[in-house]
Amino acid sequence: MRKTDGMTDTALVLGSGGVTGGAWETGILHGLAKSGVDLSAADLIIGSSAGAMVGAQLASGLLGLPELYELQLADPQDITGGKLGMLTLLRYAGAVLSARTPEAYGRKLGRIAQDARLGVTAEQRRAAIEGRLLSPEWPGRPLIVTAVDATTGELHTFDKDSGVSLADAVTASSAVPAVWPVARIDGRSWIDGGVHSTANAQLAAGYGRVVVIAPSASGNKAIASPGSQAAALAANGARVEVITPDAAAKKAFGRNPLDPSCRAAAARAGLAQSAAHTEAVAAVLSS
């Protein structure tokens, strides 16, 4: 990934984590900004799944972080919830155990996604995503949205030059296998960008300062954790800070990260947790 020139080479990575994860990310960002560490000015925003929505809203510049935070506290009646059933979770676990690479894992989840019978259509899901975007247009500033090819399992990135609409890109990035429909773009099928890894922080390679906000810190033998990706960036000379949920945030998330009723609690937990990371993030951003 090409970095910007000079001293303003900062990348903000927003990971996957469902409705509650996105709310928590917004709370973290708002709290940091209140303390004088405003990440909304990052030179590159990379978003996966929930992070794609948060990144698109942030990069639009149409609302500030205080307003974006207040949106997370509002009645979530406009948000349709989802849930990973026990059978689906078992199939996910089986895919992890039998996959050795993120691409193999992506192919297995892609098959699960394409075989799933769901109560919502792809068109309905896209309309719901588009309704949450502050603008249907790609922002003028650099924003990368991730998705996984449901057939090959390979990670792909969309941006304003990809020829794909922002709504289509975020819908693809948020297509949780067996919860939301597979997204179709230009004859190809796409699933959640968080399938490749929960953060996809490797896409920030080349940037000197990287802040990773990841609602899920997990990794396994098939997919890399945000921490391991951050370590690789640091080994190549970047200054990196990774923020993952503390105990209070995990409790606020509840058992189902796709439950909109937990959104406000997750946002408040992010705001409360942000204070513990202000100094470290400020150090990363300092010249």
Active site residues: 49, 192
Could you tell me which residues are beta bridge partners of residue 210? 11, 240
186 CB burial (10 A radius; 0-12, 13-18, 19+): exposed
- Both tokens of residue 272? 């409360």
The β-bridge partners of 212 are 13, 242
Rounded to 5 degrees, φ, ψ at 225 are -80, 160
Nearby residues of 201 by Cβ (< 8 Å), 6 or more positions away: 13, 15, 46, 210, 212, 214, 226, 229, 230, 233, 240, 242
CA distance from start to end of the chain: 21
